[in-house]
Amino acid sequence: MTIVESPTHLRENPFEIAQDQLRRVAEVFQIDQNLVRVLEQCKKAVSVSIPVYMDRGEIEVFQGYRVTHNIARGPSKGGIRYHPDVTLDEVKALAMWMTWKCALMGIPFGGAKGGVVCDPKQMSRLELEKMTRRFTSEIINEIGPEKDIPAPDVGTDPSVMAWIFDTYSMNKGHSVLGVVTGKPLNVGGSLGRLEATAHGALYCLREAIEKQDLALAGMRVAVQGFGNVGGYLARFLQEDGAIVVAASDSRGGVYNGDGIDVPNALAHKQETGGLEGLKDTESITNEELLLLECDVLAPCALEQVITTENADKVRAKVVVEGANGPTTPAADEILEDRGVLVLPDVLANAGGVVVSYFEWVQGLQEYFWKEEEVNQRLNDITSRAFHETWETYKSRDTTMRMAAYGLAVQRVSEATMTRGLYP
């Protein structure tokens, strides 16, 4: 495994991790080695440079990527990340995980991902808009409603999706709703999309807790990351009666053993940009949050936060992976040995792509659903995927991650075999 030397959040090469996971799954689920050779590579990786006139009058050139991993089951789908640590191999790993996620959820998409190396927190709205529009133009031949459909990820939000939608549509000469998901409601977004990833994680966690004859009410939860996924998840968990003892963002965390008032925390973050100084809490570091005495740990920020260095000290009984790739494979083994139930990313955070699929369908039909309909259908799909994964986990006596990846890789393999290898 390549150890990443630069001081980023990535200690190990994420694409090598993803390839390694695939090979292990292929062994357990007896996937044909010919298929593994196809699936361990990404179909296409585009690298572009994005020159932007910054507010100070100078041109800055950003690096952007769009990667398609696989399209055997449908057009590729995946978010766009704006973060200083983005690398091509990170985007490739995230694209591969998207393929498995869509297959596990049974939605007709393949996997893709995009990223731009930038710090959106240091950029003005105008700079962000110009960068997004130029990036969209540079990848305009790669994306499209039947081809590859971007969505939000870390550092991007509905406004960024609106700029992508507008730039693409301007070039086509008409509005193309299906080119991107996670759009604002007034330009063809779906009700329930903003909350979808957190809703999916909540539905999945409810199922897991029910399987153990326990109740979410009264459980102590720690949430790392307080953005789209972590912020909504903390809110929903508290509404379900759980006690959110800690939450954090990139600047650090806050703790209150009797529970944090989540709506207050969200308002505080909105006002001040962070969680520090939140009333009735004490400060903790992100590392301390991961090791807190609690029932459920929800890593909802970035990859590789649970590693060999801290996995033996994680005290939660359940880890629900709101983030993509928060647990390294070696840490996974430690958690497994210690009997910690890990609800893997491809299952736990798939709510976002499921409602993105609903948004795409609604956009193609130009017919929009009620929010209850969106949430009910999301719950149905999440529960079905959870039960299929749980059955496989029990019948094969393996981990939830191996079961989820196994089901997904089998489905993608079957589609690939049915289509045949072109030419």
Note the residues at the interface with ligand NAD (CB under 6 A).
9, 152-155, 197, 224-230, 248-250, 286, 300-302, 322-324, 349, 352
- The nearest distance, CB 27 to ligand NAD, in angstroms, is 27
Radius of gyration of the chain (CA): 20
| Catalytic status, residue 279 | no
- The nearest distance, CB 317 to ligand NAD, in angstroms, is 22
Distance CA 408, CA 385 (A): 10
Compare residues 68 and 286 and give the one whose CB is closer to ligand NAD: 286
Distance CA 161, CA 163 (A): 5
Which residue of this chain has its Cβ atom nearest to ligand NAD in the complex? 227
Compare residues 183 and 416 and give the one whose CB is closer to ligand NAD: 183
- The nearest distance, CB 323 to ligand NAD, in angstroms, is 3
Distance CA 246, CA 223 (A): 6
92, 101, 113, 183: the catalytic one is 113
Compare residues 64 and 230 and give the one whose CB is closer to ligand NAD: 230
The burial of 144, by beta-carbon neighbours within 10 Å (0-12 exposed, 13-18 middle, 19 or more buried), is given as middle
- The nearest distance, CB 9 to ligand NAD, in angstroms, is 5
Nearest to 100 by CA among 385, 411, 355, 415: 411
- The nearest distance, CB 318 to ligand NAD, in angstroms, is 18
* Parallel, antiparallel or unpaired: strands 243-249 and 148-152: unpaired
Compare residues 142 and 249 and give the one whose CB is closer to ligand NAD: 249
Q: DSSP states of 33-57 as a string?
A: HHHHHHHTS-SEEEEEEEEEE-TTS
Compare residues 253 and 406 and give the one whose CB is closer to ligand NAD: 253
Nearest to 246 by CA among 227, 264, 259: 259
Contact status, residue 164 vs residue 196, Cβ threshold 8 Å = no
Active site residues: 113
